[in-house]
Structure 1
Amino acid sequence: MAESTMPRLWLLLVPALLLLGAGIIAPLPQTGPFLLAAGSAVLAVAAIMGVFGLRRRQAKRELFRAVARFVEHDKTPTFTTDGEGRVGYRNAAAVERFGDNVETLLGALGDAFAAPAAVLHRLQEQAASRGRAEEEVVTRQGRIRLNTHRMGRDGFLWRLEDLALDGGGRGSDDAALPVLAASRTGTILYRNTAMREVIGDCSNTLDEVFPDLPLRSGEIHEVTGPGGARRWTVVETASAAGRREVYLLPARTLATAPDRQLFDALPVPLLEIAATGEVEMANRLARDLLADQMAVGTPMSSLVEGLGRPVGEWIADALEGRGLNKPEVVRASRPSKEVYLQITLGRIEQEGEPMLVAVLNDATELKTLEAQFVQSQKMQAIGQLAGGVAHDFNNLLTAISGHCDLLLLRHDAGDPDYSDLSQIAQNANRAASLVRQLLAFSRKQNLKPQSLDLRESLSDLAHLLNRLVGEKVTLELSHDPELKMIRADKRQLEQVLMNLVVNARDAMPSGGRIEISTKVLTLREPMRRDRAVVPTGEWVVVRVVDQGVGIPPDKLPKIFEPFFTTKRTGEGTGLGLSTAYGIVKQTGGFIFADSVPGTGTEFSLYFPAHDAPSEPEAEAAKQVSEAPRQGDGVVLLVEDEAPVRAFAGRALRMRGYTVLEAENAEEALKLLEDETLRVDVFVTDVIMPGMDGPSWVREALKARPDTRVVFVSGYAEDSLAEDQARIPNSKFLPKPFSLTDLTSTVHAQFDALAKRGD
């Protein structure tokens, strides 16, 4: 700020001169040199500040000269001002409109629109903080857009762009539409010359002008003025800072040539519809919404659809006065893109014949949000339904998979029935995974990561995937021979791969090939793509490639959004890819999509690479996967479902345990009344008729505090977390569980008892 530096220089020069003078006339020899040195130092500082100030002023002048050369012949009035609003430069267009003697920008615009000081101050504050700002305001000549840009530290460049409402351009104020600006409360802030001729200068509020408030855009209202009441078609739109702008169109007709220009320039999409249902006139914004090329006389029925009844009936009802001012949401019949419109019809008369004026609003975003909300409600209902039946369903799966495990114990791998039994067990596990997937939409599911070799996981999944893709699609697997392990939830990872393969299959209705490949990728620099940054390090990359129809470029960025789908209604929920995205992100990985329409799509999944599990972890995994060990002890099994109780009791007896069975909590407590009865472990269902599992266990532990507990349930573990936290020495086993899961969990509790005894 060079100008503000000059007064500061005088504050330094005066003491500098005083110090120098005092040093010259000082009586003491030691004082004189000290004062001279101090005065010289202050004078040097003043000189440095002066040089910097001159350089800054020169740089500022150069900046303003460069801007002046750039905008000198611009047809838009342009000013430069300082922080106080003083005009430093104006181009020829500004001189032509405002003259050459305007000292401040406020002086030039002081009577052009409502509250100019507040508008200019607001724009300058925004430009000072953000670099630029703009706002549209209504003036006597129509509308202008004020643009301001920050120049240097305290300068601003202002441009006043005309947004004329009429075809005559700037200055044709007499030909402009009557327009006024009002506050939210109805106070009239501004009226142009055309509006003054209609309503005069005495009215200060909207209710003084329009007797039949509230205003209904697109309808005819009586307007009170000096010449009495006249009927006008009113169009209202929201402006900046919460203001309302009201335009008046002649009610007698919108079809005359001068009025067509005004109608076309309106900032609100409008249609004029004849009694035959044909569009007589559409302004520019309406044409942009409905069709790029729309001829006069086009039937409304060919432009919109989706009312649930013929469009002709809707138009006929409106012409009879029924359903007016009631917004209807329709879909524009545009093959190029999906557009939803909210249309409000108003009735007018032209030469004694009824006609309709339609006010349009783009409701595409609103309709999209509504569709997502409806889909969300559907999925919530499915989640609640799944939660309600999960207990029973998981009991059935426990019985199926459990008895299948018992059969597998009596058949070795060479038995002809072994593969069929394995398929039953595997598909029972898949069914259980689907239940958990449904539950994931109603409440958060915790992942249980483990070290996985993708070669083994994909090999186990290959048979089911081949069943899913059908006969017309070929599934090919290939692996990196030096593939490393990853840590992920096995069931959830399988769900991700199933979702991707099913999508690939659906993209190839005529058949084709799906390739699933794995490889190790070492990133020495971060990889940036799709607004994500993949850190350096080793990654295991899984690619799923199809030869399908591909994904259009405009839809590709949206495919991971919940409920977004390119499939027709009823063919997909739009949750498969969003679920896959969430699972991969929870695992610490990334998922990307590349697609070429007509060629195919490739999904790339990046997982952090892990070394082989440590010996303790491997030993623990080995113990779980091995055949259960023989045990010794007494187990009290409490389960209300007879098939589950039969399987669990038989499985535990096969492993050497003495099993006492009870159908409910009351029966279990009655058994425990015998104090001579020894019980080491309680295995109990959580949800049962009468007393639930945690309640009876707490009661039983009062007399048997050292007994270990295994809770089993078809609900998620988090539903038991609070109760389980208050019960010592307890574990949770989710249904459906296998024979190995059950016996391993019970063994772990007996091992804990043995260690405590030691």
Structure 2
Amino acid sequence: MTQKSASPAPRILVVDDNPAIHADFRKILCGSAGLGAHAELDAAEAALFGEPEESTLQVSFRVDSAHQGQEALEMVRRALEEGDPYQLAFVDVRMPPGWDGVETLERLWQVAPELQAVICTAHSDYAWDDFVRRLGQTDSLLILKKPFETIEVLQLAHALTRKWELARQARLCIADLDRLVQQRTAELVAANAELQKEIAQRLKIEVALRESQARFSRAFEFSPVPLALLRVNPLRCVDANPAFVELSGWSKADLLAAEPFPLQWLKQGSGEPSPLPLDLEKPLRQQSCRLRRPDGQERHVLLSTQPFELDQETCLLVAAEDVTAQVHLEEQLRQTQKLEAVGQLTAGIAHEFNNILTVIIGNVSLLQSGDVNPGLQAALLERTTEYAQRAARLTQQLLAFSRRQWLQPRPLDLAHTLQRLVPILAGGLGDRHSVRLRTATQLPLVLADPKGLEQVLLQLLLNARDATPDGDTIEVTAGRADLDETAAAHNPEARPGSFVWFEVTDHGCGIAPDVLPRIFDPFFTTKGMGRATGLGLSTVHGIVKQHEGWVEVRTEPGRGSSFRVYLPTANQTGNPTGPAPEDGTTLSLQPAAPVSHPTPPPPGRGPLILLVEDEVPVRDLTAELLKRRGFRVLKARDADEAMRIWETCGAVPDLLLTDVVMPGTMNGHDLALSLQCLNPDLKVIYTSGYSPDVVRETLEQQPNTVFLAKPYHPRALFEAIERCLASQPGCSAGQHCPQPDAGVGARAWA
């Protein structure tokens, strides 16, 4: 056998009380004494196994000596602690005094069970059976008889140290294998535990899924909301609950068998069938539409859809809530509310006009009696004119409330406008009240109608005056505000953007919470019968809404109220801002200075006017006024008669003065277009008691046209005709002619 030196030499412990024995072992195991024997051993190995001889290295052993068992035990323990254990121990049987060899081995094996041992004995004191009985059956023990041969010692040393090394390697391999087995076993145990958890979890999920499916099935079947499951491509019904089947008007079998989906959905407000408003990417929520049943009935529904995947196919859950009965109830409620509003409005108008007509009829009766002196006659005429103009103002307030009055917006500096208007309007509030104005020096321009703003400010000042009958200082302030989404969310009428505001504040009685929601209702007033019309704040609301603004009210009973009006800046409105600034015209409630007119033409020699009016008294009165002014007049009751007169009169009229709304085949607008095709230079003045919105588009696009609202003052009629014929910029084409100010008597134009 050969051993190549690669690791530390095997370590051997010799335990004997004879020093000479120690020297012999060292000579054999550590010196050159064993070299020849080792060579002989290699030669014998080659002869036996037929292997070629190799050059071998002398394997030297590290040999330590112990003379007593206790010393040997201590050395074995120390070697183990140092990590360099003894592999083999030669132990003499007799070592007096102290432990003998057998007891020494017993002690050593208690500390190092792997230690290989050779009992060296020259006597036959112990038989092998004795050793086995005391030391147990073991393969780590051999007996060497003294005297021993060198070759025997070397063979034992080589064989047993090699055995110890192999046993150690085997133990290490077994330990590694055991560790790997334990690690793998732990992994398998953990995997098994995780698998058991997953199995338990899956069982739970399956149970929950079955329960969920059962709940969904019950909820689907018994839900009062019509539900259906649809597959896409092609669109067909997979399942429908009884409520959906009843709503559809189909049987469930026919509904499931039909391909594509047979129901017709109509968009709200559309009479033509349109495809089901499906979006496969986004859910649909509460889409108002109509469902057409096979029997022709239509049901109002709120349609909701939810896309989802089922068996790798896109499907839709459709919910169609039937709101037909609710829609009918809402329509009835709206109709009832309309009737209530109309009744209140009619009662208010009747009250006001009855008062006005009482004065007018009474004054006319006195004038017709013939026994009225000239002074009283002039006063009666003045009062009659005043109440007629009051009726006209009431009509304008109604139009403002309905947001249908004609406005002429232009860029205005609100601060400058308030500085001019407040001192003028404050004079009409009485001696007990004063107005304090606080405003920024520079504010963005707003697109506003000066007369409309004057009316809004006047009504708010009058409202503040009435809230403080004992006198007070009314505050008027103005500023600008840039509102974002959060700030605008506090008022349903507000919106984000840049605005200019002005506010009228009083310190009076305030407004009760139960009254506040109704303050903008027409003819609603808390001032008592006969003290107010109830149109003041409703007029404010209507004018401000026409300016694309809104009013915010802050009030507290007993501590006053603030009305803040928001107006969009010029670049926030839909109207063009225009380059022209405010012209500086003074706005007040005082009568305007008389307008100078050109000298009337001689009677019967003035411009020819075609007058078209279906109301006979109005037509006759207007014709008489025009004739007195020197104009020539052709009268027609409708458009058809006007066309005949045009064709047969033998002259070309210079101007068409026509009512907008008339009976017959054409209205005033159609008539004007027809005649302007015959004479493009024909000037046109439209008159109407309705809102000018009916001809707004014409006035904006059609040249040589003017609108004159009824009732109009005769002087306004003459101004409109003269400016229209002369194409003066004060009343140019497409403009609305202003009315003379209130309070001017009939003698101003007669």
Measured against the shorter chain, the TM-score band is: 0.3 to 0.5
Determine which structure has the larger strand proportion and give its number: 1
Computing the radius of gyration from Cα coordinates, the structure with the larger value is 2
- TM-score normalized by the length of structure 2: 0.38
- TM-score normalized by the length of structure 1: 0.37
